[in-house]
Structure formats: C-alpha cells, structure tokens
Amino acid sequence: MAGSTIYDVAAAASVSIKSVSRVLNGEPNVSEALKAKVGKAVEELGYRRSLSARGLAGSSSSVIAALVDAGMTIEHWRSGSGNDYLSRLELGVLMELRQVDYHLMVEMVDYASPTLSRDLAALLSSIRPEGVLLTPPNSDLTVVLDVLDASGVAYARLGAEHELDRGTLVSMDERQAARDMTEHLIALGHRRIGFIGGPAVYSASRLRLEGFMAAMQTHGLEVPDDCLAEGDFTFAAGVAGVKRLLGAERAPTAIFGACDDMALGAIQGAVAVGLRVPDDLSVAGFDDSPSAMFSNPTLTTIRQPVAEMAAAAVQRLTPPLRARLSQEDQTAAVVVPYRLVARASTAAPPPG
C-alpha cells in the first residue's frame, strides 16, 4: 500500500523505469502514448517518488531549508510575546512549494554559536537542500554566506544589506519605510520625535534609524541624543525606551519604535505614567504584527510583507518555479512593496 516503487509503475505500464522517470520529470522526447500509460499506472498505484531516493540519486533534493534565528525565536516564546514572523514566512514558502512537489525543512540556527560555521556546514551536508532561505540576521552574516558558497547551494537572503553581490536578494525598502512613517508623524504636526531602535545585528535596525534621521533632517528637525533609545526588539525594551525618551530634556510628542513589540511596550509605558495615546503621545511601530491590530489603541505601523518576500525567494530558489519567471525577474534583486498602515495610535500633537 504505502510502498509502490518506480518498478511497480514500470511493470504496470509495461515500460522501462527510465520511461517512467522521463514522464515524471517532464523530460522532452516522450510520446503522448507513453505519457498516458505511465500517468494511468501512477494514478492507479497512487505512486509518488521517494524524496530520499531522488535526493540521493539526483542532484535535486527537492528540499528548501529555512534557517531561522534560534535566539529571537526562543526569546519570543519564553516571554510569551510570540511573533508571527515564522508563520508568515512559512506560509509564503508553503504556498509556492505546494505547486511543485518541493518540501520545506525548518532549522533553527544560533548565529551566536561559536561553532556556527561548523554547525551550518554539518547541517548542509546532512540535508543537502536544493535551496536555503536565510532570514535576518543570518542573511547578513559573512560566515553564513561563506559556508553556503563553499557548499554550493543556492540561497536567498531576506532583508540583506551587505555584500549585495552574493545570493538572491529579497527585501523591502526599510529605510524608505521608516522615512515614510517619520514623514507621517511630521505631517501630523509633530516636531519632537523620539526613536527606539533595534539591535545592531539586524541590518533593519540601522536602516530604520537612517530613514528616521533622514526624514527629520529633511525637515530641519533636530534629534537630540536623549530622543534616541535602543532596545532588543522586545516589549520590555519598549517600556524601558519610552521611559528614557519621556525623560528627555524636551520630551517628544511622538515615538517611533523600530518594531511593533517595542512600540506596544512604549504605549504601555506611556499609559503607565498617565499619558493618553494618541492624545498626549503618538506612537508608531514597524512590522504589522497581529498584535498591532488588536492593541488599544490600534497601532500605526509599517506592514512588512514577510510572506510575499518568502514567496519571491522560493520562486527564485526552486528551478521549476524559477523557470516561470522572466529572465529579468530571475536575476534582479527583489524589492517587495510595503505599506504604511495608519491606525489609532498616531494623531496630532497636543496643543501645548
């Protein structure tokens, strides 16, 4: 029942196994009659080629490995604050892969491991994936790229910023998005705006900060040091960040958090000291995590198109999907559009 092989199919169709293989692989020079015979036999037996056997014999393993960051994932889970980055990523991947009989393997990688290079090499030589999907901060680690290059796998880098000639690039314009959000706050009338940044390992942290600074500068607005805080992308960091910013010499009327969790923390921190959001203080985030839409007030944020980026990456990583793309699309770096989602946490500054 569970175990028909290519020989069974060949026998049922009275052809050679090579013919079966040819049909299954969509190779050229196959008669319609053959296709039909084989198709029928496959159908009747409910036959599927063994992933293991294909991986072993051929060059294609039909497996895409997604490397996700262990630290942040574990942290999110322990703190209970969760995060749907993973879900969104996988959804994007799975929606594409299901079309082509490829499969997803998820691996946690600890970028802080002293043996990262070895760990990764071991992983690759064991799995031999056909493509690797790199998420931040792994996308930007030279060690990681080196191992990948040495092993010869194709890989896509989500949100990479350095060494842009390596691998397939898929990202969104973080800098411009941060700039847009800052402009949004400025347009509302804010002049003193604080920023809570993320950890330096994440390229996005720097880009978002840059976007913020650029917009402020464009409008001739100053950003004193005490209007800048740094966090580690957690809710608690947002609480701490807002505390710092509100203690500034001239406290900001708006705060832009480099991620939703921190922005949400900022809201809570502000409410805790008696401020009303957005009446007394506007708060904006970045990511559009689910919590952003359920928080009170709902959070103005940037929708990071994680699933779309993952889908684009996978399309370029799997030969059958890649073939559907134009020559241009196959090689060019992909920049997926984002969206500013204005919700209730931002408004005009208080008249004071």
Q: Which residues form the interface with DNA (CB under 7 A)?
A: 3, 5-7, 15-19, 21-22, 24-25, 29-31, 33-34, 47-50, 53-54, 56-60
Residue 182 binds which entry of DNA, a second copy, none, CB below 5-8 Å type-dependent: none
**CA-closest candidate to residue 228, choices 190, 198, 185:** 198
Closest approach of a second copy to the CB of residue 268, in Å: 8
Q: Which is nearer to DNA, 7 or 77 (CB)?
A: 7
Q: How far apart are CA 331 and CA 163, in angstroms?
A: 16
- Tokens describing residue 262: 């921190």
Under the binding rule (CB under 8 A), the answer on residue 280 touching a second copy is no
Nearest CA to 174 among 141, 197, 149? 197
Question: Prior bond to 320 cis, omega within 30?
Answer: no
Question: 248 with 194: CB under 8 angstroms?
Answer: yes
Query: What is the C-alpha separation between 286 and 195, in angstroms, rounded?
Result: 12
Q: In angstroms, what is the minimal distance from the CB of 327 to a second copy?
A: 29
In sequence order, what are the residues at sequence separation of 6 or more whose Cβ sits closer than 8 angstroms to the Cβ of residue 177? 208, 211, 286, 302, 338, 340
> If contact means CB under 5 to 8 A according to the sort of partner, which of a second copy, DNA, none does residue 16 touch?
DNA
124-159: b (≥16 Cβ within 10 Å) or e: beebbbbbbbbbbbbbbbeebbebbeebebbbbbbb
Q: Which residues contact 28 (CB under 8 A, 6 or more apart)?
A: none
Interface characters, 234-273, with a second copy (x: CB under 8 A): -x-------------------------x--x--xx--x--
Q: Which of the listed partners (DNA, a second copy, none) does 121 bind, with a CB threshold of 5 to 8 Å by partner kind?
A: a second copy
- Report the partner that residue 21 touches, choosing among a second copy, DNA, none (CB closer than 5 to 8 A by kind): DNA
Distance, in Å, from the CA atom of 15 to the CA atom of 37, rounded to the nearest integer, reads 9
The count of chain residues that interact with a second copy, using the rule CB under 8 A, is 71
Query: Using CB under 8 A, which of 11, 30, 107, 223 touches a second copy?
Result: 107
- Which residue, 70 or 127, has its beta carbon nearer to DNA? 127
CB 109 within 8 A of CB 68: yes
Answer with the entry of DNA, a second copy, none that 46 interacts with (C-beta below 5 to 8 A by kind): a second copy
- Closer residue to DNA in complex, CB, 48/276: 48
Answer for which of 82, 319, 320, 350 binds a second copy (CB under 8 A) is 82
In whole angstroms, how close is the CB of 215 to a second copy at the nearest point?
A: 26
